[in-house]
């Protein structure tokens, strides 16, 4: 018996479980691509940025940041654009840009977590309704049902739990992986922006590039 036939035998609750799996797979692919694009060598980036900044080449810093499509580069670009307004303006710009980048990194993660919880619950619901139907059959047969009368209905009822757990484990595993990756990005952003703000404070207010 193939997987599709097994899924069909699980009843109508297999439909929402299947939809949960589609949503989970779509989010996993989308989040993987987003986090992959966000990855960069932070150490090398900050080393080059310090070199450019110490030469007071603010246009060079802006150009350097624009060459990198990564959260840290976008945050620092927003900060250097406010350099002429003083340290507090730079800090405000960096914090605002940082919040936006974190939101972008965490986007749709809550939906993936929901799929990890909902799919197994739908599976358990399918099993419970299947067991209710099995005991209802015993009642209709006046208690004279033999094991073969019930075995088919019971194992079909358990299919929803199996499929629900498969989807839930898949979604939960990737959710935890993405959370750890986002935490790493957040740490790198906080460390790099703190270093950048220190550079701005040491340099003092100057005119920002036009």
Chain segment 29-51, per-residue pLDDT in tens: 999 999 998 888 888 888 888 88
Chain segment 189-206, per-residue pLDDT in tens: 998 888 888 887 776 644
Query: What pLDDT score was predicted for residue 83?
Result: 79
Determine the average pLDDT of the residues in 52-79: 84
Domain range list for the chain: 11-117+169-203
Neighbours of 26 (CB within 10 A): 13
Rounded to two decimals, the pTM is: 0.81
> Residue 84: which H helix or E strand, with range?
none
Query: What pLDDT score was predicted for residue 208?
Result: 43
- Helices then strands, each counted (H, E), the chain: 8, 0
Determine the average pLDDT of the residues in 8-32: 90
Most confident of 27-31, 86-90, 97-101: 27-31
Chain segment 123-140, per-residue pLDDT in tens: 999 888 888 877 777 777
Query: What pLDDT score was predicted for residue 209?
Result: 44
Chain segment 139-189, per-residue pLDDT in tens: 776 666 666 666 656 777 788 899 999 999 999 999 999 999 999 999 989
| CA-CA-CA-CA torsion sign (44, 47, 50, 55) | negative
Query: What pLDDT score was predicted for residue 210?
Result: 40
> Residue 107: which H helix or E strand, with range?
none
């Amino acid at each position: 018996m193939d997987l599709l036939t097994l899924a069909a035998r699980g009843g109508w609750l297999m439909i929402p479980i299947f939809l949960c799996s589609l949503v989970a797979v779509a989010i996993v692919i989308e989040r993987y691509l987003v986090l992959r694009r966000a990855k960069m060598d932070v150490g090398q980036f900050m080393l080059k940025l310090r070199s450019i900044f110490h030469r007071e080449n603010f246009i060079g810093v802006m150009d350097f940041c624009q060459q990198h499509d990564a959260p840290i580069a976008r945050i620092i670009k927003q900060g250097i654009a406010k350099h002429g307004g003083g340290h507090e303006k730079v800090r405000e710009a960096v914090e605002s840009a940082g919040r936006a980048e974190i939101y972008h990194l965490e986007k749709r993660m809550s939906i993936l977590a929901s799929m990890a919880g909902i799919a197994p619950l739908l599976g358990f619901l399918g099993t419970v309704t299947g067991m209710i139907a099995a005991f209802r059959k015993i009642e209709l047969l006046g208690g004279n049902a033999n094991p073969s009368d019930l075995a088919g209905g019971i194992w079909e009822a358990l299919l929803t739990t199996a499929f629900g757990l498969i989807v839930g484990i898949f979604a939960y595993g990737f959710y935890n992986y993405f959370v750890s990756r986002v935490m790493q990005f957040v740490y790198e952003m906080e460390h790099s922006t703190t270093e950048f703000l220190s550079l701005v404070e040491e340099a003092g207010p100057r005119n920002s590039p036009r």
